[in-house]
Structure 1
């Protein structure tokens, strides 16, 4: 029972020391401390070696403190061997004496008949010899007992030595495992350091974006202050305008008479580019340098310039004329977004309405991370209807409601709508008519779903497919 308690105590003490050593090595590695002018990694290895040595030392100390036999076996092994050798020499001497005595006894018995006259003296000598023989036999028995005890002690020492060697081998294996775990932990720490560096880089980029937003907010606040000033000026003009109302009232009649002419002129107006109209669009990714970001922005601006020239048809345009204008703050903000290395959807929008022939068109860049919004086959919206009880116009109204709901949900999910039309896509009208006519072939109530046949990202556009189901079974597709 004492042996089991001793083994359990050694195991618990070894585990506790190994845990303390591991935590101490981890803290030394994380703090990057250095001992004896060693590198942090070598210092951590030194701590591990010292911990292993402490485990071995504590194990031997406990064994020596508890087992006196083990101490004697380890520290007095040479003395015991010398005693054994001396006992073997004494045993050999006693055996020689015994053989000599037995020879003498045999000779005495052989010559017994011849030495009757010397019987008294011989008897005395015989008694003395017998006494010596008894003493020799007692000494021989003692030597045999000591020899057996020595053999038993030697067997115990050998058994304890084998146990100790097994424990040392196990501790060495645990030390090797601990070293491997330490190397794995060091590799994981290096990976964590790399991840921390990447996060710090992203945080720096976020700080730059935050600074750009703060600059934009300051600009907007300045614009708001200017707007307030303009509002005050307008309020000042309000009194003056009221005095002019009577004059304008007299002209109203004449304007109403010519309203049809004016409306016709408006319908034939010369606005060629509307505010928010997309002049260039595309997706960029893997931007890892300012040079690549600059090249991508210049390509978008060239595309916007070409489309603006086609739409606005300015006169006497030269190849070197810029045609489009963009603020430096907008370019810097767009470049900072692209330098994050993510995939972005970029659009160049017209900042205002422009009449045909104008050669200076202000544009505003717009960028957002081009993330996956809808997986292929995702259902966007659903309606229920019974085509057999509805007219074509009623069916069309319900499908228009389905399209409107799908459009709104797509915008809410993050798909970019067209700034002018406010839609994320258009459904082919011919396919819609075919779908409505085909519904007439299926009587009864059914469920119409709008799904996306392919993945939809932020940049859009979103193409829809109409799917009709009855009793959870697809009966018709269109799109």
Structure 2
């Protein structure tokens, strides 16, 4: 109804303005009036044009006054477009955050399922131990009855009772151990359901090379080492360094023990690794131990670490699998040579995925029998990592 009334009002207003313009034009034509020095005919045309302009202006003005939507369309369209772009960007960001949250939820549910399986296995072992204990108690009761009934077999009965008693004690100890394990798993499950795992037992929180010197220098480097470990832990859970949270803890005896070792190794370089002593979830302090290892030079720059001939025609071992076996052999050789591996993965270094793909591609292009040689790319010490420079050579049929 509002639109019909508005159209009617515009039509009436246009008609009135046209009527007035027509009357003025007629009078000007009859009286031959002139405006701005124009001829009467030109003056009449000018009046007609002005009447059309007035009709348009009044139409737009009435639309703007009578309808907020019209005002928005006339004067606020650019603002609406900017707002639409902003809302679209916010929607995209919210969808990304939602996808990340769903991925984290899936990982946490998988960990919870693993712990549930372990708890069920522990409960089953506990039930079996309790059944064994019940059977042992029943046997003990039978032996005691036989003891009362048969005095002649007293010595044998006493030995049997003692044996069963010891078996019962052992079973009680097993039940206690299983109960502790069950409690630990249930506590771990509770932590996993309430928060995410931060460090696993034995995982390296931070590692650094200390150049031993005076006691004051050693203390300063120890402070740097512990601050580095604390910063690394804060970075893992997304805490800003400005928060100054003390996450990594170590026992005072462990700290003093390390200072004594550094004092004895004066003038040498040592590798110190800060390792978690237990599984830790976010919100718990990370209790760490300190591991000291002499940092010796294992491979000089350019030293040949490993060499192997690979037959690209061997259908049993694809090129990518053969290359991975070659890297695993280098890892084993490096560990035997004295390079410290990561305690969680057992690896002494990581090769760039692009380098791996390029190497396998070159091997496939060369074909036939290939001699693959790995050299140390820079000096490599006990601390690692093992950086490699690879060389590929075509091998003739007689060469090895």
TM-score, normalised to structure 2, is 0.48
Over alpha carbons, which structure has the higher Rg? 1
TM-score, normalised to structure 1, is 0.41
Q: Which has the higher contact order (CA 8 A, sep 6+)?
A: 2
